[in-house]
């Protein structure tokens, strides 16, 4: 189907404006508009692109938009789709981060975020169900998701290792029990036209160009400010993160929090949760929480710059090194992946990876619940087990009540993301005005 570039640009702007609610909601918006409404791509193409993006490090929803933009109009289409997907959230987080840096100690602002966190917990739990409904089609997929959760929650295994294990299970499982691993029907469609792979020299040129775009500014910053500066630390850390983390913001948040809070001391654990709350309330990928981290880190260590100028540069740098490699993965890898759409072995691996991602999101939901609903945590360690569990006596009854309210709004009354966040934030302010919370 021929689609004009101007019309596609307008539609990508519409997708960006509606991209609330984390990757599950964003992917659903794209599916509704691009597959059901516009019919610009088929179900098979959409699922194939989605599962490739699930395999990649970084925000899968933004990469999915880039991939489909590339399918429709080549590199320029991918650039427009990917950049528009990020831009509204970047501008919103920039403004909200500035307000947070200046006013988050104000009691009413603290109360607003107190109410926001339980609502965000409900959103993360909903993501488990929404992604799980699409990925866990049979007991084998459910078992893979459970194994992924146990690997992270019980043994604290690295997420890349969990993904690699799921891929191997999918590859071998597809040979032994193909009916259980061919759950994504789009991969079984072999009669659709696919894009031929480009020459190797063109792919190499693409890789080199995007490596320069990604790492060139980082190298300039390190040379100009020194390796010990906060800007160099931000650029190097988030560049590494862009390579080794998978599953989007839900999967990487615990690792980012550990490094940003405990290792670098850029912000506190509570502020990290506040940042995710801001990212939940704005359009665009949840990984925009990294912009918030970069903003606060540079705001508190501005060097010779004005704090707001330094903070804006810190947020921009974190955003740049997070999203520039996403275009590299898509523009270099998508042409080859398109030739493999009917490859059943690959589809089995990708289906298993998608199931594992459900377990990863569930692990984040548990981590989020422990840190939102309880004031104290303890660590049990024995052999290979490393289990962090909450101290029940430290339960926050008002946070529990707000979480119950958010669950009622989201799952029973189907109030939607924005209304749930507004109601819970208002409830937090009401509790503060009543003197029930500090």
Residue among 354, 284, 348, 340 at smallest CA distance from 53: 354
Q: Residue 139 class from Cβ within 10 Å (0-12 exposed, 13-18 middle, 19+ buried)?
A: exposed
**Reported pTM:** 0.73
DSSP state of 17: H
CB atoms < 10 A from the CB of 202, how many? 12
- Enter the DSSP assignment of 402: H
The four Cα atoms 407, 413, 419, 425 give a dihedral, to 10 degrees, of -40
pLDDT, one tens digit for every residue, the chain (438 residues): 688 999 999 999 998 887 765 666 688 788 889 988 999 998 878 877 887 787 788 888 899 999 999 999 999 999 999 999 999 999 999 998 998 888 877 788 788 888 888 887 887 788 788 778 878 989 999 999 999 999 988 988 877 788 889 989 998 998 888 888 876 554 443 344 455 667 888 889 999 999 999 999 999 998 988 888 999 999 999 998 888 766 566 667 767 877 898 889 999 877 887 887 788 778 888 889 999 999 999 999 998 999 999 999 999 999 999 999 999 999 998 887 766 655 677 778 878 888 887 887 788 788 778 888 998 989 888 888 888 889 999 999 999 999 999 999 999 998 877 788 889 999 999 999 999 986
């Amino acid at each position: 189907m021929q689609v004009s570039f101007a019309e596609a640009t307008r539609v990508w702007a519409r997708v960006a404006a509606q991209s609330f609610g984390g990757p599950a909601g964003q992917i659903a918006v794209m599916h509704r508009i691009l597959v059901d409404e516009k019919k610009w791509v088929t179900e098979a193409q959409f699922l194939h692109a989605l599962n490739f993006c699930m395999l990649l490090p970084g925000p899968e929803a933004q990469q999915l938009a880039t991939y489909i933009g590339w399918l429709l109009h080549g590199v320029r289409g991918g650039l427009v789709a990917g950049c528009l997907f990020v831009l509204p959230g970047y501008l919103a987080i920039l403004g909200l981060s500035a307000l947070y840096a200046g006013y988050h100690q104000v009691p009413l602002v603290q109360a607003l975020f107190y109410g926001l966190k339980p609502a965000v917990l409900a959103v993360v739990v909903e993501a488990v169900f929404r992604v799980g409904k699409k990925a866990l089609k049979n007991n084998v997929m459910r078992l893979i998701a459970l194994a992924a959760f146990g690997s992270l929650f019980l043994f604290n295994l690295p997420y890349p290792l969990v993904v690699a294990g799921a891929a191997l299970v999918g590859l071998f499982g597809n040979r032994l029990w193909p009916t259980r691993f061919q759950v994504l029907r789009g991969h079984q469609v072999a009669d659709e036209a696919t894009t031929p792979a480009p020459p190797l020299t063109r792919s190499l040129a693409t890789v080199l160009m995007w490596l320069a775009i990604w790492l060139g500014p980082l190298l300039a910053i390190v040379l100009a400010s020194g390796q010990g500066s906060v800007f160099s630390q931000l650029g190097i850390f988030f560049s590494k993160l862009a390579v080794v983390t998978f599953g989007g913001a839900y999967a990487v948040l615990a690792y980012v929090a550990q490094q940003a809070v405990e290792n670098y001391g850029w912000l506190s654990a509570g502020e990290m949760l506040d940042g995710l709350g801001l990212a939940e309330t704005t359009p665009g990928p949840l990984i925009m929480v990294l912009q918030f981290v970069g903003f606060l880190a540079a705001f508190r260590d501005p060097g010779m710059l004005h704090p707001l100028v330094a903070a804006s540069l810190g947020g921009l740098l974190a955003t740049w090194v997070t999203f520039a490699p996403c275009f590299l993965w898509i523009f270099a890898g998508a042409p080859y992946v398109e030739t493999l759409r009917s490859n059943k072995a690959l589809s089995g691996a990708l289906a298993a990876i998608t199931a594992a991602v459900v377990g990863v999101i569930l692990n984040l939901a548990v981590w989020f619940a422990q840190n939102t609903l309880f004031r104290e945590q303890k660590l049990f360690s024995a052999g290979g087990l490393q289990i962090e569990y909450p101290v029940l006596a430290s339960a926050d009854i008002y946070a529990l009540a707000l979480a119950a309210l958010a669950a009622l709004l989201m799952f029973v009354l189907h109030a939607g993301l924005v209304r749930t966040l507004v109601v819970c934030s208002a409830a937090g302010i009401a509790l503060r005005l009543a003197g029930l919370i500090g």
